Amino acid sequence: MDEDEDDVVVTKDSNGNILSKGDTVIVIKDLKINGGNSVIKRGTKVKNITLEGDGEHIMGSGDGVKGVVLKVCFLKKA
């Protein structure tokens, strides 16, 4: 077995679906943005996501959202 195979991190949404770079996800809970007064409302689509290396966070942009990092436990695949 190659060492690289052990280092693969799988990112899954709240329903257990595997997420890939470029997917679209939907926020399942109102989320307050740290460092600001704004809130990402439930049902907001976040498009063209980028996976972070830890398997628990993604980065994306969507309806009024740009370059925000979100925890995958608050997302579901669209």
pLDDT at 45: 93
CATH number of 3-77: 2.30.30.40
Q: Point out the residues of the chain with pLDDT beneath 50.
A: 1-2
Q: Where are the domains of the chain?
A: 3-77
Residue 35: what pLDDT? Answer: 78
Q: What is the pLDDT of residues 7-27, one digit of tens each?
A: 788 999 999 999 999 999 999
Closest CA to 60 of 71, 75, 49: 49
Compute the chain's Rg from CA coordinates: 13
